[in-house]
Amino acid sequence: MYGQFDLITLIALIVAVAAILKLRSVLGHRSDEDEQRVERLKKREAGQRAAAETASADVITMPRRDRDPLQPVPAVEAPANNAEARIKAFSVVDPSITNGLLEIANLDTSLDPESFLTGAGRAYEMIVSAFAEGNRRALKDLLSREVYDGFVAAIGEREVREETVEQQFVGIKKADLVEAELKNGVAFLTVRFISELISAVKDKAGEVVSGDTQTIKSVTDIWTFSRDVSTAKARANPNWKLVATQAPN
């Protein structure tokens, strides 16, 4: 009985193993089409992973064009207390300069004396260089009408004499704010520039008639810049113009 049972059990095991092997051989078999499908899936997954890694490592966001145009953001003026703090921290030789700056800041809270001096220095170099070159177009946007007319007249006289200016702007050694006031809503800031130039005037034959092409000369100029700060519309224009020049005392 036990032998019979063992024989039946053994036959059943053999049949089960054969069935498993048959099923495994069927399920484990891949056709050429299956292989190609698997390869395509692998490539797609690899491409998606690479794109995700690249996007997360180096993203450049381009401007988005919405259906409705974005409304411009209005300029926000700096708080008055910040302007007051900047002005009081600004070093001056005359307390009246601070008072004048504070008066201007009551209308224009964006006023920053340090930033103004930086911009005035750039304007000074541009104006001096444009005048030497006789570049009327460059001067027009930087000068008031009266000052522009004076500069252009001097350039014209030089051209009549057939003289040219050979100039090299070395740099500004010092720029000090020496006056600040507000008149009828217009701000006036006066700066003393001490600069270094190499400058010479030559006649039509190329001979030097004044100055020197080799020597660095120290030059002092006192220039006054102005800007309308009376209204929000006027303050939207941040540009200062040269309105007066004077020789040092």
Give the C-alpha separation, 161 to 155, whole Å: 10
In a domain, 209, yes or no: yes
In a domain, 193, yes or no: yes
More confident of the two residues 20 and 182:
182
Q: Among 3-7, 11-15, 206-210, which stretch is predicted with the lowest mean pLDDT?
A: 3-7
In a domain, 85, yes or no: yes
In a domain, 236, yes or no: yes
More confident of the two residues 217 and 70:
217
Q: Provide the number of structural domains found in the chain.
A: 1
Question: Which tens digit of pLDDT belongs to each residue from 216-227?
Answer: 999 999 999 999
CATH value at residue 184: 3.10.450.240
Residue 42 is predicted with a pLDDT of: 55
In a domain, 57, yes or no: no
In a domain, 174, yes or no: yes
Q: 120 with 242: CB under 8 angstroms?
A: no
More confident of the two residues 247 and 170:
170
In a domain, 176, yes or no: yes
Range of the domain at 108: 80-246
Give the C-alpha separation, 16 to 11, whole Å: 9
Neighbours of 229 (CB within 10 A): 21
Give the C-alpha separation, 122 to 6, whole Å: 107
Q: 90 with 115: CB under 8 angstroms?
A: no
Helix segments in 134-200, DSSP class H? 136-140, 145-160
